[in-house]
C-alpha cells in the first residue's frame, strides 16, 4: 500500500513511473527537478500519507529509497 501511494505521488509530481527509475537515483539528478518540484513532492507526500515531515526528514529526502524509509518510519509511530 505504501509503495503504491508513493508511486502515485512520484508519478504525479515527477511525471515518471516509480518503476522506471533506480530507487537510489537522486531527485536532483532528474531533468524535471527544481525547488518547486521538491516542495510539491513534500506536500503531496504529506497529504497522501497524512504525515508531517520534519526539517531533518526533508533534508534527508533525496531519493525514492529514502522517501520509503522516512514514510515507513513515520507510519510506525
Q: Where are the domains of the chain?
A: 2-76
Of residues 72, 69, 63, the one with CA closest to residue 38: 63
Rounded to an integer, what distance in angstroms lies between the CA atom of residue 14 and that of residue 72?
A: 21
pLDDT tens digits, one per residue of 25-59: 999 999 889 999 999 999 999 999 999 999 999 99
pLDDT of residue 8: 94
Dihedral of alpha carbons 50, 21, 69, 57, sign: negative
CATH class of 2-76: mainly alpha
pLDDT tens digits, one per residue of 10-31: 999 999 888 888 899 999 999 8
pLDDT of residue 49: 96
pLDDT of residue 1: 67
Of residues 49, 40, 43, the one with CA closest to residue 68: 49
Rounded to an integer, what distance in angstroms lies between the CA atom of residue 70 and that of residue 41?
A: 13
pLDDT of residue 39: 97
pLDDT of residue 72: 95
Amino acid at each position: 500500500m505504501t509503495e503504491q501511494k508513493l508511486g502515485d505521488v512520484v508519478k504525479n509530481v515527477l511525471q515518471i513511473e516509480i518503476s522506471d527509475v533506480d530507487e537510489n537515483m537522486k531527485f536532483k539528478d532528474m531533468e524535471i527537478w527544481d525547488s518547486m518540484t521538491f516542495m510539491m513532492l513534500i506536500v503531496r507526500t504529506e497529504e497522501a500519507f497524512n504525515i508531517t515531515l520534519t526539517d531533518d526528514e526533508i533534508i534527508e529526502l533525496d531519493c525514492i529509497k529514502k522517501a520509503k524509509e522516512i514514510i515507513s518510519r513515520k507510519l510506525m509511530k
